[in-house]
Amino acid sequence: MIATFDWTSPQLHLGSLLVVLALALWYLEATRKGGTQATKRQRWSFSWALIVTLVATSWPVADLAHSTSLAALVAQRLLLVLGAAPLLMLGLPDSLAARLTRPAPIDWIVIRLAKPGIAIITTTVLLAVTGVPATVAWGCRYPWVGALMSLAMLLAGFVLFQPVLDKVPGLAKMSPLGKVGYLVAQSVAPTFLSFVWIIASRPLYSSFTNQRHILHLSPLADQQAAGYLAKLGTFSVLWTLAYVMFSRVPSDETGEQSQLRWIDVERSLDRAERRGQLISESEPSEHEPGNS
């Protein structure tokens, strides 16, 4: 059953509130130890990330996004991808980020997703799959699908910003100019659906209803507004970040050439040790038949 929206009936999203509170308690506990203590700036970043997440997954944004408006859905996606995800990453002390990504399966995944080309493809696929009419209709009909879509948006944000923020240790870092080009590419490729929303001559999302009554917009106008919002929101954030990085190219290049962190060395040694173990396990044993 597709949910309906009413301005006069605020809804408490208890699940979102509990998740945010659980993350806050986990963060306080994880950064209480000496080796993973967070700076004041990191604590503020993580706090704002939780606030943005709560806004994006609570009434009225979430309710509008999964019942009434494609533009509201786009606003929710922008909050999670361009707001909550990078703020969560910035809020993690490097030692804590290293600990979270140390398990071999997670490290294997992030090594591949952190490559700029793979990151662009992954972000594009996640945004496309969660933005097509069929998936959006499932999100309107089934709350658990809407929750999975929100998680997918956070994942897209993590993948998008990892090559820029370098939170996973032991990976090759792009130059500042490389990051500028990467951000420009990320601002274009994942938002290709917005062109369809803008130029379409009819509404494509039958799962949204009551736009005229609730937002005073026709379904087609709401769809076009979603397209413009997706483009302008993505461009304004990523191009601004690209401009800031471009303006700091000389000093950044000097600093990055001499930067060497112990957690990078430690992670590289861990990966080398795992590769050595895999090689030794794949080699035939001396005691096996035929090796004497």
Which tens digits make up the pLDDT trace of 75-87?
999 999 999 999 9
Report the alpha-carbon distance of residue 92 to residue 100 in Å, rounded: 10
Report the alpha-carbon distance of residue 105 to residue 97 in Å, rounded: 15
Report the alpha-carbon distance of residue 205 to residue 283 in Å, rounded: 56
Closest to 228 (Cα-Cα) out of 121, 70, 108 = 70
Segment 130-134 mean pLDDT? 95
pLDDT confidence of residue 132: 95
Segment 19-30 mean pLDDT? 95
Residue 35's Cβ-count burial label (10 Å; 0-12, 13-18, 19+) is exposed
Give the least confident one: 30-44, 97-111, 169-183, 246-260. 246-260
pLDDT confidence of residue 241: 94
Number of domains observed in the structure of the chain: 1
pLDDT confidence of residue 64: 94
pLDDT confidence of residue 292: 45
Phi–psi pair at 220, nearest 5 degrees: -70, -40
Report the alpha-carbon distance of residue 222 to residue 72 in Å, rounded: 9
- Confidence tier at 191 by pLDDT (50, 70, 90): confident
Segment 179-206 mean pLDDT? 93
Range with the largest mean pLDDT of 89-93, 168-172, 188-192, 268-272: 89-93
Tokens of 44: 């503020």
Helix, strand, or coil (residue 274) = helix
In a domain, 261, yes or no: no
* Domain housing 229: 14-256
In a domain, 281, yes or no: no
In a domain, 274, yes or no: no
In a domain, 5, yes or no: no
In a domain, 2, yes or no: no
- Confidence tier at 32 by pLDDT (50, 70, 90): confident
Which of residues 280 and 212 earns the better pLDDT score? 212
In a domain, 1, yes or no: no
pTM confidence score: 0.89
Flag whether pLDDT at 15 surpasses 60: yes
Which tens digits make up the pLDDT trace of 89-112?
999 999 999 999 989 899 999 999
Segment 118-137 mean pLDDT? 95
In a domain, 264, yes or no: no
Segment 135-152 mean pLDDT? 94
What is the DSSP code (8-state) at residue 81? I
Report the alpha-carbon distance of residue 76 to residue 144 in Å, rounded: 16
CA dist 47 → 51, 113, 133, 157 (Å): 6, 26, 33, 17
pLDDT confidence of residue 260: 67
